[in-house]
A and B are shown apart, each in its own frame.
Chain A
Amino acid sequence: DAGVIQSPRHEVTEMGQEVTLRCKPISGHNSLFWYRQTMMRGLELLIYFNNNVPIDDSGMPEDRFSAKMPNASFSTLKIQPSEPRDSAVYFCASSLRGGTGELFFGEGSRLTVL
């Protein structure tokens, strides 16, 4: 079975550019989570969705960050404009709400903003 699929795996961009990260959750999972990993802050929960609806975006650091889930098989995390401090690894994870719930993680998107 395919796991959570994220793209791109690596992104290098210049400050001020728009960045879009993509995620395809495991088929049948109805909850999707975006996490960010940095050395300084560890793993931070940015936003999560249930049945394609955003539930809590209080972890999104600034208005420059936005996330969407137009359907059950696709989500995006967008940063516009990007800044060097956004450099991190961004993980998408999915699970089945109502279960005992381990999250299944993608391989991550490593973002470097110059």
Chain B
Amino acid sequence: KAGVTQTPRYLIKTRGQQVTLSCSPISGHRSVSWYQQTPGQGLQFLFEYFSETQRNKGNFPGRFSGRQFSNSRSEMNVSTLELGDSALYLCASSPSGMNTEAFFGQGTRLTVV
């Protein structure tokens, strides 16, 4: 069974630009969550999608948005990039998101210059 796939692995963008990250969950998993990891801050929850609907949302500004498609693949978009958005963005999938562990992808390393 293929794991969670995130593309691209690395990305360099300029301040003010926007970026779209992609996540393909494990086959059969309907819940996809996104996290931002920065040094010393652990994994900060961005949002979770289940069956194409945003089910949970973290405390991030509206510049961060996402969506999920009917095949459970998910995209995350960040508009008007800031230097502080430089981080590792991780996607995790689980069958239902409830009372189970999540399986993480390798992440997308975003650098904003």
Do A and B come from the same complex? no
